[in-house]
Amino acid sequence: MRSQMSLSLTLALTAALLGLAAFAAWRGARAPNPHRGPRMIPWRLIMLLAAAGAILMIVHLANLGGMTTGQRTI
Protein backbone atom coordinates (compact mmCIF):
# COMPACT_ATOMS: atom_id res chain seq x y z
CA MET A 1 0.00 0.00 0.00
CA ARG A 2 1.36 3.37 -1.00
CA SER A 3 0.66 6.40 1.16
CA GLN A 4 1.30 10.03 0.41
CA MET A 5 1.79 13.05 2.60
CA SER A 6 -1.10 15.45 2.43
CA LEU A 7 -0.79 18.89 0.90
CA SER A 8 -1.16 20.65 4.25
CA LEU A 9 1.60 18.56 5.86
CA THR A 10 3.90 19.15 2.89
CA LEU A 11 3.29 22.92 3.04
CA ALA A 12 3.90 22.96 6.79
CA LEU A 13 7.16 21.01 6.46
CA THR A 14 8.30 23.26 3.61
CA ALA A 15 7.65 26.39 5.65
CA ALA A 16 9.37 24.93 8.72
CA LEU A 17 12.45 23.87 6.75
CA LEU A 18 12.71 27.23 5.00
CA GLY A 19 12.37 29.00 8.35
CA LEU A 20 15.03 26.77 9.90
CA ALA A 21 17.35 27.38 6.95
CA ALA A 22 16.89 31.15 7.23
CA PHE A 23 17.47 31.11 11.00
CA ALA A 24 20.57 28.91 10.67
CA ALA A 25 21.90 31.16 7.89
CA TRP A 26 21.48 34.20 10.15
CA ARG A 27 23.15 32.46 13.10
CA GLY A 28 25.99 31.11 10.96
CA ALA A 29 26.72 34.52 9.46
CA ARG A 30 27.17 36.23 12.82
CA ALA A 31 30.69 37.19 13.80
CA PRO A 32 32.31 34.82 16.31
CA ASN A 33 32.60 36.03 19.89
CA PRO A 34 35.87 34.75 21.41
CA HIS A 35 34.76 35.66 24.94
CA ARG A 36 31.86 33.22 24.77
CA GLY A 37 34.01 30.40 23.43
CA PRO A 38 33.69 28.32 20.28
CA ARG A 39 30.38 27.71 18.55
CA MET A 40 29.05 24.35 19.55
CA ILE A 41 26.28 24.15 16.94
CA PRO A 42 27.27 23.77 13.25
CA TRP A 43 24.84 26.39 11.90
CA ARG A 44 26.09 26.21 8.31
CA LEU A 45 25.61 22.44 8.17
CA ILE A 46 22.12 22.82 9.63
CA MET A 47 21.38 25.50 7.01
CA LEU A 48 22.51 23.23 4.16
CA LEU A 49 20.54 20.22 5.42
CA ALA A 50 17.38 22.28 5.95
CA ALA A 51 17.70 23.85 2.49
CA ALA A 52 18.16 20.40 0.92
CA GLY A 53 15.07 19.16 2.75
CA ALA A 54 13.12 22.20 1.57
CA ILE A 55 14.11 21.48 -2.02
CA LEU A 56 12.82 17.93 -1.64
CA MET A 57 9.54 19.26 -0.24
CA ILE A 58 9.21 21.69 -3.16
CA VAL A 59 9.67 18.80 -5.58
CA HIS A 60 7.04 16.86 -3.65
CA LEU A 61 4.69 19.86 -3.94
CA ALA A 62 5.26 19.83 -7.70
CA ASN A 63 4.42 16.11 -7.75
CA LEU A 64 1.25 16.72 -5.77
CA GLY A 65 0.36 19.42 -8.30
CA GLY A 66 0.47 16.92 -11.14
CA MET A 67 3.97 17.50 -12.50
CA THR A 68 5.93 14.33 -13.21
CA THR A 69 9.51 14.28 -11.97
CA GLY A 70 12.08 11.52 -12.06
CA GLN A 71 12.47 8.68 -14.49
CA ARG A 72 9.57 7.41 -16.48
CA THR A 73 8.79 3.72 -16.32
CA ILE A 74 7.91 2.01 -19.54
pLDDT at 10 > cutoff 70: yes
The model's pTM: 0.82
Domain that residue 25 falls in? 7-30+39-64
26 within some domain: yes
Pairwise CA distance, residues 57 & 52, whole Å? 9
Domains identified in the chain, total number: 1
- Closest C-alpha among 3, 10, 4, 9 to residue 56: 10
- Closest C-alpha among 13, 47, 6 to residue 28: 47
43 within some domain: yes
What is the pLDDT, as a whole number, of residue 3?
66
33-46 per-position pLDDT tens digit: 889 888 899 999 99
pLDDT at 1 > cutoff 60: no
Average pLDDT over every residue of 14-18? 98
70 within some domain: no
